[in-house]
């Protein structure tokens, strides 16, 4: 703090803090930091291996099960006779290693019961990964 001489001859105490020395010290520390960081982060030169991204041949093909507005069930593009046929097909693929994922495409006008029956059949067959496919909103998800 500094003393200020008033016009009437009495000293007044200024309560303002002079921040100029603080700014000077901070700038010096910043410059020192910028100079020393590249020296400190120097590491041992090593030759890292390069990796190529190749799809694996063991990945199972996803199974798309569609339920239309009338409640008809489709396995990929083939129409199924009913839930019994769906259950048999799901049991046949549930033993595959690795197990394929089941993606359920439900029409927005389909009854919830029809989609729920497909989900129940997948659960009974022992399918581990079941997902629902949705159309993203037109506005980008607002």
What CATH number does the domain containing 101 carry? 3.30.420
Give a yes or no: residue 11 inside a domain: yes
Give a yes or no: residue 53 inside a domain: no
pLDDT of residue 16: 78
Contacts of 104 (CB under 8 A, 6+ apart): 65, 66, 67, 115, 118, 119, 122, 130, 131, 132, 133
For 63-94, what is each residue's pLDDT tens digit? 999 999 999 999 988 999 999 999 999 999 99
Give a yes or no: residue 57 inside a domain: no
Q: Are residues 69 and 102 in the same domain?
A: yes
Number of domains in the chain: 2
pLDDT of residue 58: 42
**CA distance linking residue 29 with residue 3, whole number of Å:** 30
Element (H, E) at 27: helix 20-40
Exposure on the CB side of residue 90, measured as CA atoms within 13 A? 29
Structural domain of residue 104, as residue ranges? 63-132
Check residue 5 and report its DSSP letter: E
pLDDT of residue 7: 63
Give a yes or no: residue 47 inside a domain: no
> Which range has highest mean pLDDT (6-20, 32-46, 83-97)?
83-97
Look at residue 1 and tell me whether its pLDDT is greater than 70: no
Q: Are residues 116 and 69 in the same domain?
A: yes
């Amino acid at each position: 703090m500094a003393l200020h001489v008033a016009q009437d001859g009495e000293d007044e105490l200024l309560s303002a803090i002079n921040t100029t020395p603080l700014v000077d010290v901070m700038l010096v520390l910043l410059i020192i930091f910028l100079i020393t960081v590249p020296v400190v982060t120097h590491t041992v030169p090593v030759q890292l291996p390069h990796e190529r991204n190749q799809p694996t041949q063991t990945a199972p093909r996803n199974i798309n099960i569609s339920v239309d507005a009338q409640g008809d069930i489709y396995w990929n593009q083939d129409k199924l006779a009913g839930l019994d046929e769906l259950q048999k097909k799901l049991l046949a693929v549930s033993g595959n290693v690795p197990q394929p994922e089941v993606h359920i495409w439900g029409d927005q006008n389909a009854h919830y019961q029809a989609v729920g029956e497909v989900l129940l059949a997948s659960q009974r067959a022992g399918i581990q990964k079941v997902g629902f496919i949705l159309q993203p909103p037109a506005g980008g998800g607002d």
